[in-house]
Structure 1
Amino acid sequence: MAMSHKAKKRWALVILLVGLPAYIAVSVSVLNWLYPDPDARAPIWVELGIYIGLGVLWVFPLKFVFKGIGQDDPDA
């Protein structure tokens, strides 16, 4: 069953306002768990790569929600 345009907009807003900050907090927590000692951290380019990878990774499972959000309602 396809979601309506209005439902997609609402879910996109919920995902961006609630889900994305929670995902960021979990990502930072996991990286801090992997490298608990500040002196034994991974090189900055490795951490940057992990953060960029995690920043892109969340989009793929939620792509269907954000597809077509910026366009006019096709049912109107």
Structure 2
Amino acid sequence: MALGYKARRRWALIILLVGLPLYIIAAVWVVALFDRPSVLVEILVYVGLGVIWAIPFKFIFKGIGQQDPDDRE
């Protein structure tokens, strides 16, 4: 069953306010487990991890910035 517009908006908000900070903490912790690489490699790792977190949630964020399609004004 597909999520409705309002449910997707709620889930997007929860993901951004709760999930993203937890993911950032986990990414920093994982990178800190290894010896510190060069700055360029570290930036590439963080950019890669920053893109990877959003891929599974693409269907939730798609169309959230648009007007509610169920709103019949």
Root-mean-square deviation (CA, aligned residues, Å) is: 0.7
Identity percentage of aligned residues: 56
Alpha-carbon distance in structure 2 between the residues aligned to 1:15 and 1:75: 23
Partner of 1:15: 15
Q: Deviations over 1:30-70 (max 9, x none)?
A: 000122xxxxx211100000000001111110000000101
Superposition pairs of residues 59-74 of structure 1, within 5 angstroms: 59-74=54-69
Give the alignment's TM-score, normalised by structure 1.
0.90
Equivalent residue letter for 2:66: Q
**Which residue number in structure 2 is paired with residue 38 of structure 1?**
none
- Using the alignment, how far apart are the partners of 2:26 and 2:50 within structure 1? 12
Q: Which structure 1 segments of 5+ residues have no match?
A: 36-40
Matches within 5 A, 1:2-41: 2-35=2-35, 41=36
Number of residue pairs aligned between Structure 1 and Structure 2: 71
In structure 2, runs of 5+ residues without a counterpart are none
